[in-house]
Structure 1
Amino acid sequence: MNFKGSSAYEEKDFLANYLQRRNRIDSPNNSIEKPVIFELLGAFKKKKILDLGCGDALFGKELLRAGADYYHGVEGSLKMGSLAEQNLEGLDARITLTTIESFEYPKESYDIVASRLAVHYLPDIEQLFKKIYHTLKTKGKFVFSVQHPLTTCSFESKNSGERRSNWIVDDYFEEGERQEPWIDKIVVKYHRTTESYFTALRKAGFIVTDLQEGMPKQQNFEDDKEFTRRKRIPVILAFSCSKQ
């Protein structure tokens, strides 16, 4: 069975395994992606933030405790959404249980829209980026991360089931659906080139102000071997964009 969107997180064992992996200190989420996202966000105190594919919303909890004015998370998984509501209890926040595609984007309502490692699950980014542009206030910011296209172009190196010692880069310019063996499931993701992400953002009206590939930094790792391994290939691609 292939899982699309957030559906895999409805599987109890998958969700538990995912959270355990993600919460490791040296996980790519914590050691690479998180520092990049916070750097690209810049100043967010007193800002109203929309988070697309918010997961358990610990990100939102951290933002609010650091001074964000309001946090609105959108999550398609009921199990993830339940965790998000628990984590945000008592805070000025809201969780909407729906998919990123189905969410109704109110006009010019948010200072910042963020999305962390979720956009690569979606088949149509052009329409999504237009909706995000519509929901941002003037001078608003869109910050998001995806799996790096060098890693989504081919998952052949994962077929052995063992930890990869090398990565196969192939069919890079053949965009479209990919099936990734991940945590004992087959999860559907959508591969796009870096150029395609950039072009879709420009078409939506955004000005791309920054791009990062998550170069590992020693201070973010406890394990030197993991730090060395993560320097071999980029695992994330992140953009910061503005609405004029």
Structure 2
Amino acid sequence: MMKQNKYDDQRFFDEYAKMPRSILGLEGAGEWHVLESMLPSLENKAVLDLGCGYGWHCRYAHKNRASKVVGVDLSKQMLKKAAELTDDSSIIYIQEAIEEINFDNHSFDVVISSLAFHYIKDFYKLSQKIYDCMKKGGHFVFSVEHPIFTAREEQDWIYNEEGTILHWPIDNYQLEGLRQTNFLADNVIKYHRTVSTYVNDLIQAGFRIRAIKEPMPTAEWIERDPNMKHELRRPMFFILAVEK
């Protein structure tokens, strides 16, 4: 099946470019303060970033003295931007679907991914591939949209007639699979899976769970954008750290 690649649609890419995380990098990503705290030391480590986008995590790994950094993304547009922002030829960018990675066994000490796996249909198969390409004792840390967020296709709050937020609805949580959502454009395909599926797929692939986090916005974020206070009412992100 052809992989959806919205990021190479120019209008979609232009809208993505306006987001805080696109403009400000890691400091513009609301979950970064938690994801960063879950990373191991990257010094002298071989690091793989799946769904690397603009390459923010790749450059972070290089800055933190990783010995090898590889970023993988399906989007030609994303990788072009990553190359423009990267002034070090030691960071390698590969245009490829995440699901199709085929690295040699025991190639990487650390694997990172940010908000990419909810676009992947078969998480268990990918988990197996990641496990195989990692060294024993290696760390795999990734974020996804929280299953509470992906359960409904609408992915939105319930409002009253005046447009005031009432609550975040959950429906069809146990019904895993494809969701056609609206994110910067209509008909964006994502895949919903439960918390237990994420965790059990990783365990069955051979990983040991180290930590699970559901990030909340910092006080600084809420002060900068008062609407962020609503992110205290339900988790938007889900971050897992596991070890081989």
SS at match of 1:179: strand
Hey, what's the Cα distance between the residues in 2 that align with 1:54 and 1:164?
33
> Residue in 1 aligned with 2:211?
210
Deviations 1:166-199 (A, max 9, x none): 4221010000000111113320000000000000
Number of the residue aligned with 1:13:
11
Q: 2:240 maps to which residue?
A: 239
Counterpart of 2:45 in structure 1 is 47
Matched AA of 1:119: F
Counterpart residue number, 1:190: 191
Q: Please, what TM-score do these two structures have when normalized by structure 1?
A: 0.89
Q: Tell me which of 109, 112, 125 is aligned to 1:111.
A: 109
Q: Comparing both chains, which one has the higher relative contact order based on Cα–Cα distances under 8 Å and sequence gaps of 6 or more?
A: 1
Q: Structure 1 residues 157, 130: closer, same or farther in 2, change over 3 A?
A: closer
1:99 is matched with which residue?
A: 97
The residue aligned with 1:136 is 134
Alpha carbons 2:157, 2:166 under 8 Å: kept: no
1:218–1:227: 8 Å Cα contact kept in structure 2?
no
Decide whether the 8 Å contact of 2:25 with 2:56 is kept in 1. Answer: no
Measured in 2, the distance between the counterparts of 1:28 and 1:90 equals: 18
Work out whether residues 159 and 181 of structure 1, in 8 Å CA contact, stay in contact via their aligned partners in 2. Answer: no
- Name the CA distance, whole Å, in 2 between partners of 1:156 and 1:97: 30
Determine what percentage of the aligned residue pairs are the same residue: 30
Task: Please say which of residues 109-118 and 23-32 is displaced more in the overlay.
Answer: 23-32
Deviations 1:73-123 (A, max 9, x none): 001011111112222232421011110111212110111011110011011
1:112–1:54 Cα change, 3 Å = same
Following the alignment from structure 2 to structure 1, what is the Cα–Cα distance between the partners of residues 183 and 57? 23
Residue pair 1:117, 1:146 contacting (<8 A) in 2 also:
yes
* Residues 15-58 of structure 1, C-alpha deviations (whole Å, 9 max, x = no match): 12112114378999835321121111131122110001100102
SS of equivalent residue, structure 2 residue 190: strand
The 1:25–1:79 alpha-carbon spacing in structure 2 relative to 1, beyond 3 Å, is closer
The secondary structure found in structure 2 opposite 1:185 is coil
Provide Cα deviations, 1:128-167, integer angstroms capped at 9, x if missing partner.
Answer: 001100001110000011000001000335499x997642
CA distance in 1 between counterparts of 2:86 and 2:35 reads: 20
> Aligned equivalents of 1:221 and 1:25: distance in 2?
18
Structure 1: where are the runs of 5+ without partners? Answer: none
143-152 or 77-86: which moved more?
A: 77-86
- Which amino acid is the alignment partner of residue 132 of structure 2? H
Deviation of residue 232 (structure 1)? Answer: 1.2
Shift of 1:68: 2.0
User: 8 Å contact 2:54–2:78 — kept in the other structure?
Assistant: yes
In the alignment, which residue of structure 1 is the partner of 2:82? Answer: 84
Unaligned runs of 5+ in 2: none
Aligned mates of 2:59, 2:26 — CA distance in 1: 20
Distance 1:49 1:73 in 2: 9
